[in-house]
Every structure is written in C-alpha cells, then in structure tokens.
Structure 1
Amino acid sequence: MNFETWPALFVIDVEGNGGNPPDLVEAAALPVRNGIPDTSAARSWLVRPPHPVTPFAARVHGHTNASLAGCPTWKQVADKARRLLGGAWMCAHNAHVDYKVMTAHLPGWQPAGVLDTLRLSRATYPDLPKHSLDALIDHLKPDLSQAPGQRHRATFDAYATAQVLLAMAARYESWEQLVAAAVPPGLPGAPEPDKEDTLW
C-alpha cells in the first residue's frame, strides 16, 4: 500500500450523552497523512449537551453533567469542526454511528467517503472471533503509548482507530482495494455495483 496516494482523511470518534438520538459531549478528528496519524493537527471538542448525560453514558466515557458544565455548546464549535473536516474522507469504527451523529450535528456536511474499520476488520480477519475496537487492539497490538486520554474518550479512540486502520490497510495493495473492503454500502464513497448487461 502506497499511503501517499490516500486522499485527505480524518479518523473521527464521538461520545454522546446517552440520549436517542444522542447529543454530542465529545468529538475528536485526527488527520492521517502519508500513513501517519498527524497528532499535531488533531482537534477535539468537549461539549455541554442540551440534555443531561445519562448515568450509563457517564460510566462509559467519564463525562458528567458537572464536568461539562463549563464547556461550550456544539453550536459554538460547529463551524470550527466544519472548516476542519471540509470534504475529506472520514474513518471510524462502526462508522454508521459516527457518520449519523456528525451529519446530524453538521447539517449539509458530507464527507467524500466513509471508511469503517469494523467492516474492514471483518473482511481482513474473517476468522477473528470479535471485531470490536478492543478486539482489534488485542489482536494487532498497536503502539498506543502516544494516545491521548484513555479508552472510551474520543481522542484515545480516534488514535487507536487510526492505528488499526493503518495496520489493516497495509495488507491491501491499493486505495481502491481498501475502499472496496471498508466502505459500507449506502455510505459516501461506496463503489458502484457492477451493472449486468440486460435487454432493458
């Protein structure tokens, strides 16, 4: 894989307040350039949600209503996120979730394409019993010594996702092969299905 052929790409991770649909409490965007996570250009935002954080969500990511009380609202940071992401590709683990949340919070924003490391893992390691981010970390053992924060914080999870993405991508010969394996049907960037010749 020649990583220099990759288009602009951000690994994204979001944490929510536990609502349905969720309000953002944290979002992280980590660019990957030439096969390296560019932490110097990464950005993250802690957000005070319009609705309270549920106890279950607080236990998962550690954000509480009290800890977020002094943070800006999403409306105050949305333009910064929109400018940063532009029309680049995005990658996330179980990307349907992050894509749905981000497009709901950034109306009109559309990435060029969406890579899903969960889908990529199932294609790359079909015999792996589990394909969660934790399972991939255990299987691939990426160097996470420079990961900011801790597991289930958006900054840490974005960094970990970037590392497992790069480890799996190295097994593919081209960007096009990676896209074919990693983009879920129906999401931006999915390859067009082959059209069979018909009489009609």
Structure 2
Amino acid sequence: MYAILDIETTGGKYNEEGITEIAIYKFDGHDVVDQFISLVNPERPIQAFVVGLTGINNEMLRNAPKFYEVAKRIIEITAGCVIVAHNAQFDYRILSLEFDRLGYPFERTTLCTVELSQELLLGHKSYSLGKLAKALGIPMSNRHRADGDALATVQLFKMLLAKDTEKKIIQAAVKSFPKRNMDTKLKDIIASVPSETGVYYMHNVNGTIIYIGKSKNMKKRLTQHFTSDNRKSKQIQDDVVEVTYEETGSELIALLKENEEIKRNRPKFNRALRRTNFKVQLSHYIDDNGYINLKTERADPTKDAITTFSNTMSAKAQLERIIEAYVLCQNKTIMHGTSGNCFNYTIKKCNGACIEEESPEVYNLRVQSFIQKHSFENKSMLVIDRGRKVNERSVVLIEDGIFKGIGFYNLNHQLNNMEILRSIITPMDDNRDAQHIIKSYTRTKRNLKTIPLTELVG
C-alpha cells in the first residue's frame, strides 16, 4: 500500500517552513482507495514568491485547520504505507518537521519518483513533475497545488510500476532511500561494524561515549539509528564521529555488558538503563496449612526473590505457564485467591491443594522443584553460552547467589579449575538489573547449559 502525497509550504529558512496544503492519495498498486486533501494554517507568514507560485495566501488560510487538527488523519491514512512523492526527501522532511513540533515520532518508508524516473525513464532532459507529465502525456490540473501535483504523481507512479517489470529497482530504492540523507561519515561507520551480536559504543568528537547499545545484529541496528528521523536519533547522528564495538557471540553477555557499562559511563543518550529496569518480583511464603504459596509483588531489593519480571503483565503470563508446567494450584499462587477449590481443580489440572485434598508435603515438592531451578539463592554455578568464535564459549559466574562477572574460554582448554576460571572473569556489579537479565534469560532459553561450581577443582 502506498500513500502518494504532495505538500505546499510557506517557504522560508530551512526547517522553519510550515505546511499550507497537503494532499494524500492512498494507492493499492491499482486504484486510489482513500484520499485526504486540506489547506493548513501554518501559523506563520507565506513567502511572497510562494504566493505567486501557488496562489495560496495568508487570507485563504485564516480559517483553515492547524496542523495538529489534521495530524491524526495523516497518521491514519499513511499507516502501513510507503510514502511516495516527487522529491520525497523534501516532502518527508517537511511532514516529519511538523510532527516533531508536536513531539510525535513520525516514521515511514519512502519512495522518490524523481529517482525512480531517472532509473526507469531514461533520456528525459528534465525530471521535474511538470515537464515529465507533459512528455509522458499525463494530464495535469491545478499545477503547484497539492491535489493536482499529487494526482499527477499517482499517474506517474502507475507508469513506473509498469516499467519496473522485475521490481528490482523499486525494491532497491525502498531499501536504500533513507529518511534523512546519510553523509559519508555515517555510511563509513556502518560499513565498519559487523553483522554480529555484541555491544557498540558511539563516541563524540572528544572521544566521550554518548550512547551504548547491544544487538544481535550490530550493523542492522546502527543502520536503524542512522536512518531514523526521530529527535533522539537526529541528535545522535549530529554528535557521533566514531563507533567502536565488542563482539560477544552471546546475547546474554551483550545484555550484561550493556547494563554494566551504561550504569558506569552514564552516556547522555542512554536513560532507561541508568535506572532499575524491572518492576515485579516473584517470592514465596508458607501459609497456615503448610503449603508454599507463590506471589508476585513490587520489586524490593531488601527481599529475596525467586525471579523477576519487567512488568505485571509479563509476571502474570509467566505465572500461568509456571502453574501449568508444575501442576500448581491457582489459589496457592495468588492468581485468584478465592475460597474453596480453584478453577483448575474443576478441570482436573490441580490435584486439590486448594481444598487440602493433596498434602502439603507432596504439593511442596513441586513448588520446591520450581524454586530450585529458577532461584539463585545460595547457588554457585556457571552459565555457559555461545562465544565469539566457533571454538569459544562465554561464561557467567554466580557464587552463593551473587553475580560475579563474565568471561570467555577456548574449548581447547577445559574449564575445570577455579583458579583458571577466576583469571578469565571480568568482575561486574551484582545489581538488580543484572540479576533480572540472567534470570529472564535462563528462564526463556531452555537449552542453556549450567554447571555447578562443585564440579570444578582447585
């Protein structure tokens, strides 16, 4: 689906322009299926030469809707669409500028019919819309008005789609046409970073780290940073002069490094991970009848937790899976808290702890099995994951329930000695976010390998 549009503006200094008229035709590749055309009060004067070109003057716009009054309609009609325009860079910049003023991150993929015409319609002396339309026999009315120019662009785009029989050029144009012009600096940075899992560091001209991120594909993530038009991304694009990176192989190691290094370096464009990032924890207690109950509660660093969750919805979803996997009673997990039997008992998915039909001793064995598997309390172990190379593995060290740090080891040297282990570990802080990251990762990655420290010697 395409949103083919044209915009008329006030003219004026770069990034100080305002929209005076907008026309959008929603096009499904065959027909126009929706449209929106409106004058817009730009709340700023129109340049005299623009009045002469378009015929739109300040008086005409006095009672026209302001941009914030049409913004919702523009969002709706362009949702899920590729924006198509003749000189799309200009139209998209102006549209994004207006949304930026509202504090809304407007992001769409774009296609430029000037660039496509230069690729598909060879031999024209000029690729302006008026001259192309005349040369191609495309009827035009209301030239230099948004609706007339947008309709002509619809017809031109139909012709371009027909000419592009293999669809290669259009696909390449969609992929390569950025939302903002990327200068050579940003292209060179992207080219220098591999498509691997790791942590990347953006530096300003002084070498200071201004942003730290992690990704399973660092090149792809940097491309997103450098082609995005939201306010934060544009600030990063202006400030960054170099990106350094560390491959980790393991997403767990990348998450832990990102968490640790953001808290240590406090980069100006990282905010979320400066604070603790989880809100809910799962704890347990024994009720008056001797049954172990599980309960979710607000995260509290003074209390022991079995595991942690980002939010209440995530906690509820995980608790439902835990109940099913360990055949636990809903009334003993504070999910219902009703008197009498729980619902699962009626459908034979609970063995009757809710009505004391199942003894606490038998029921508690299953709860303890869950706690033992997911709690780090008093545990000393290694979490083994992928390394940076085929013959390497990463390791996370937990001692007495405390996260100690991370490291890498070569498969040619078996990890069976505590002295060797400590030499490869990079120490890290045992903060709540680190615990949350490890618990969440080990809970969701079923094939992750863990080794008790008791199996090591020395």
Q: Normalising by structure 1, report the TM-score.
A: 0.80
2:97 aligned counterpart, secondary structure = helix
Q: By how many angstroms is 1:168 displaced?
A: 1.8
Aligned partner of 1:117 in structure 2 is 113
Q: By how many angstroms is 1:143 displaced?
A: 4.3
Higher relative contact order (CA 8 A, sep 6+): 1
Q: Does 1:163 align with 2:158?
A: no
Once residues 182 and 100 of structure 1 are traced to their aligned partners in structure 2, the CA distance between those partners, rounded to angstroms, is 16
The structure with more radius of gyration: 2
Q: By how many angstroms is 1:75 displaced?
A: 1.4
Which structure carries more strand by proportion? 2
Once residues 18 and 116 of structure 2 are traced to their aligned partners in structure 1, the CA distance between those partners, rounded to angstroms, is 27
Paired residues of 1:9 and 1:88 also in contact (CA < 8 A): yes
Give CA deviations for 1:4-46 in whole Å, capped at 9, x if unaligned. Answer: xxxx1110110001122310111111011242234xx210121
Q: By how many angstroms is 1:48 displaced?
A: 1.0
1:27 aligned counterpart, secondary structure = strand
Paired residues of 1:115 and 1:182 also in contact (CA < 8 A): yes
Once residues 22 and 167 of structure 2 are traced to their aligned partners in structure 1, the CA distance between those partners, rounded to angstroms, is 26
Once residues 72 and 153 of structure 1 are traced to their aligned partners in structure 2, the CA distance between those partners, rounded to angstroms, is 17
Aligned partner of 1:5 in structure 2 is none
Q: Which residue identity lines up with residue 167 of structure 1 in the other structure?
A: M
Q: By how many angstroms is 1:183 displaced?
A: 6.4
Once residues 187 and 95 of structure 1 are traced to their aligned partners in structure 2, the CA distance between those partners, rounded to angstroms, is 9
Once residues 58 and 167 of structure 1 are traced to their aligned partners in structure 2, the CA distance between those partners, rounded to angstroms, is 31
Paired residues of 2:3 and 2:77 also in contact (CA < 8 A): no
Aligned partner of 2:81 in structure 1 is 88
Unaligned runs of 5+ in 2: 181-190, 195-458
Aligned partner of 1:154 in structure 2 is 146
Q: Normalising by structure 2, report the TM-score.
A: 0.36
Once residues 7 and 30 of structure 2 are traced to their aligned partners in structure 1, the CA distance between those partners, rounded to angstroms, is 22
Once residues 136 and 183 of structure 1 are traced to their aligned partners in structure 2, the CA distance between those partners, rounded to angstroms, is 25
1:56 aligned counterpart, secondary structure = helix
Aligned residues: 176
Note closer, same or farther for the CA distance 1:10–1:52 as it changes in structure 2 (3 Å cut): same
Once residues 36 and 159 of structure 2 are traced to their aligned partners in structure 1, the CA distance between those partners, rounded to angstroms, is 23
Q: By how many angstroms is 1:55 displaced?
A: 1.0
Once residues 165 and 52 of structure 1 are traced to their aligned partners in structure 2, the CA distance between those partners, rounded to angstroms, is 33
Once residues 70 and 33 of structure 1 are traced to their aligned partners in structure 2, the CA distance between those partners, rounded to angstroms, is 33
Where does 1:45-194 land on structure 2 (aligned, <5 Å)? 45-106=38-99, 107-111=104-108, 113-144=109-140, 150-181=142-173, 185-187=177-179
Which has the larger displacement, 13-22 or 177-186?
177-186
Q: Which residue identity lines up with residue 130 of structure 2 in the other structure?
A: D
Paired residues of 2:22 and 2:38 also in contact (CA < 8 A): yes
Q: Which residue identity lines up with residue 134 of structure 2 in the other structure?
A: D
